[in-house]
Amino acid sequence: MSKDPIKLTISLGFAGVLTLMGLISFISLSQMTVITEQMADLLTETNAKISAASTMRNSIRLRGDTLNKMYLTDDYLKRDELRLEISEHALQYKIARDILFTFRMSSREAKLLDQLIQQTRVAKSFNDDAADNLLSDKPPQEIKEDLRLANTARHDMLAGLDKLVLLQEEISQSAIKDSEEYQKTVSDIILFLSLAAFFIALYIAQLVIRETSRKNSEIHFQATHDELTKLVNRKEFSHRLKSAFDTAKNSRESHALCFLDLDKFKTVNDTCGHKAGDELLIQLTRTIKNHIRSHDTLARIGGDEFGLLLEGCSLDKAVEISEGIVSLIKSHKFKWQNRIFHVGVSIGLVMINRDTENIEKALTQADTACYAAKDMGRNQVQIHGLNEELAKNTHKELAWVSEIDNDQVENRFSLYLQKIETTQAHSKKSIYEVLLRMHDDEGALISPENYIPAAERFNLMKDVDAWVIRNALQQLSNYYKHNPNNDIQLFINISANSLSNHSFTEFVIQQIKINNISPNSICLEISEKNAIKNIDQTTNVITELRKHNVKFSLDNFGRSMSSFSYLKNLNVSYLKIDGNIVKNMSHSTTDKAMIAAINQIGKVMNIETVASHVEDAFTFNQLKEMGIDFAQGFYLDKPKPITAQIESLRQSLNLDTKKH
């Protein structure tokens, strides 16, 4: 496994600094101890040698003085006593000399000692002869001669001892000098190691500061930019839009806000897959950025939707830039696997100036103008205010969502349930997904794709979510009244509008209490796209409701590998694998490997996996062998009205009860 080179460098650097500091401490303590011991030994040895030499010198002098006293006295008895003193001084001399011999000697010291021994023998002979003659009857003239010779020999011995003492001092000074030089060398080594440790630590500190700064910039960039296109995201775009609105209010400066919605982008996604769609978005982003001005802001605010803020821009210039974008994208050829695709873009434009009421209204106007551009044939620019009739029609088409609480509109809605089957024999969970259906005036079902995006766009889907949760929990509560011991769990989808609604968590908790059901009975399902787009809000909602034991599922998981990086921050109980991956797994080893990877991640994180869009037995058996926990699809169960599904479940339970 490869490691981050920066982290590795920092780790090695710190290890190096610690090693150097340890080495410095070891050298300082050990070598200083050695030097101290050596100096102590040297001092002891030198003092002992000098002391022995001093004793020898004193013995020589005392022997000479005693011999002189013998000569000066005429009392033979006194001379005999003094003769014994001379022998004692000679003995002291010998003892001191023997002590001197016990120490290590250099060649120069040994040579001087040899000379001193010879001189000692000569002097002893002269001293003994002179002392003995003083006790005899020899003539005075001979005795004087003997005394002179003895005196000369003593001077020679003293001179030799002086040389030995001087040599000792010289050797001591030399040893001290060597010790000082050695100590200086050790100090230089310690200084070098200290400087090395300092510069390594300084380098590491700079590296850490630089890396921290880079990481902070990276985190800030990730928080304010879209991961795929590297454009600013919806949150950052709103921030810049507010700043532009403030400048427009405080001055006569005007700005242009554009909504861009790609046409035929879904064709590329459905035909060639999301990888092709991602590449197309990157190419188109690059094309648009090369066309707009350097200080303009292009943002990705949805899957194939973009926002464009042209600051300090007149209407004519904004139209020129927008029409240029339409022309560039219309002429763009997207090549993928030997196929060529052409896409387009519809742009809604609104000016922001001192007359603009607020940002929300400007966004709505730009969005409405974008819808108008699509309705008028796509691949064109529509300016808000230039086609009021079309804008009114667009609002009229979406008016039903704003009246979601009316009985007449509620009668258009109905709830369906689809069974989520377990693949494990030991599991006894009864899990269903709650599906919302809408009916037109003739009673025919309307596809959710035709009304949910519009409701989300105008922040009205939260009311639809509230209706679904309220009615689903009422049905569940009625079911538990007749079947209190049965374990059933409902998966309920929630939109991005609900995630950003501050009162949503309180509403869910309130409905659980009103209907007197266990929080474990519901699992709120969030699409991967909405979870990542609103990661902070999603995390807050999950964290708050998990405190009350409400479970969560991440829907359409696996559309983008980037979702894995966010998963560790989302406390979910289920991963519902994207249906397109499941449908393709039979003939795509890549999709099969993707499912295996998701399953492995789920096992590691203790998250159960659900495979959606299971449409045949072969796919179901493959999922079962891979260890996927649950499966959902038309092969296993088709959606049925919630009342019919609950009645079917109740009858099944009654049959099981009769059997037992």
Three-state secondary structure along 572-639? CCEEEECHHHHHHCCCCHHHHHHHHHHHHHHHHCCCEEEECCCCCHHHHHHHHHHCCCEECCCCCCCC
Phi then psi dihedrals of residue 497, to 5 deg: -60, -40
Query: CA-to-CA distance for 481 and 269, rounded, in angstroms?
Result: 47
Q: What angle do CA 271, 273, 276 make, to 5 degrees?
A: 100
Would strands 522-527 and 551-557 be described as parallel, antiparallel, or unpaired? parallel
Longest Cα–Cα distance in the chain: 168
Give me the DSSP letters along 267-293: HHHHHH-HHHHHHHHHHHHHHHHHHS-
Q: How many CA atoms lie within 13 A of 403 on its CB side?
A: 12
Evaluate whether 298 touches 231 at the Cβ level (below 8 Å).
yes
Rounded CA separation 490/648 (Å): 16
How far apart are alpha carbons 415 and 95 in whole angstroms? 121
Q: Of 129, 146, 296, 304, which residue is the catalytic one?
A: 304
Pairing of strands 488-493, 522-527: parallel
Q: How far apart are the first and last CA of the chain?
A: 56
Residue 631 CB contacts under 8 Å (≥ 6 apart), including other chains: 420, 421, 423, 610, 611, 614, 620, 623, 624
| CA dihedral of 489, 493, 497, 501, whole degrees rounded to 10 | 0
CB atoms within 10 A of CB 153: 22
Distances (CA, A) of 393 to 210, 399, 440, 461, 619: 56, 10, 18, 20, 46
DSSP character at residue 225: B
For residue 366, give the nearest of 310, 293, 421, 408 by alpha carbon: 310
266 C-beta neighbours (distance < 10 Å), count = 13
Which residues have a Cβ under 8 Å from the Cβ of 78 and sit 6 or more positions away? 70
Q: Taking the CA atoms of 96, 102, 108 and 112 in sequence, report the sign of the dihedral they define.
A: positive
Paired tokens of 307: 């926002």
Name the token pair of 630: 């649950």
Active site residue 304: yes
- What does the buried/exposed string (b/e) look like for 495-506 if buried means 16 or more CB atoms within 10 Å of the residue's CB? bbbbbebeebbe
* 542-574 exposure pattern, b = at least 16 Cβ within 10 A, e = fewer: beebeeeebbbbbbbbbbbeebeebbeebebbb
User: How many C-beta atoms lie closer than 10 Å to residue 121's C-beta?
Assistant: 11
Answer for the pair 310, 317: CB distance below 8 angstroms, yes or no. yes
CA–CA gap between residue 501 and residue 464 (Å, rounded): 13
For residues 411 and 431, what is the distance between their CA atoms, to the nearest angstrom? 26
**Strand 413-422, strand 640-641: pairing:** antiparallel
Active site residues: 304
